[in-house]
Amino acid sequence: MTDADAPTLTEVVLDAAVVVRVEVAEVSLTAREWARLSPGDVLETSVRIAEPVALRVNGRVVARGELVDVEGEIGVRIRELVRGGG
């Protein structure tokens, strides 16, 4: 491979993996409540299925969307891109 064939820094960075976290809700528990949890317990969030979810990259909100069914699995339909990571 010659220098002319080598990928640019921008191409390398744009091909890097990015972890996107889908934040559905936040639940506050005491340490005692957390310690009492066991398999099968349900944490109530008071969030409705149709409410927006936040997509975060490196802790910053980058988009908002809604949960959708994709052939029996959960997906997220992007509704808004957040500029500036706010």
Structure tokens at 55: 């997509």
Which pLDDT value is given to residue 2? 67
Q: Is the pLDDT of residue 82 over 90?
A: yes
The pLDDT value given to residue 18:
94
Q: Residue 42 carries which side chain, given as an amino acid letter?
A: V
| Domains recognised in the chain with CATH numbers | 19-81 (2.30.330.10)
Q: What would the pLDDT profile of 54-73 be if each residue is shown by its tens digit?
A: 999 999 999 999 999 899 99
pLDDT in tens, 15-65: 999 999 999 999 999 999 999 999 999 999 888 887 899 999 999 999 999
pLDDT of 1 above 70: no
How many residues are recorded in the chain?
Answer: 86
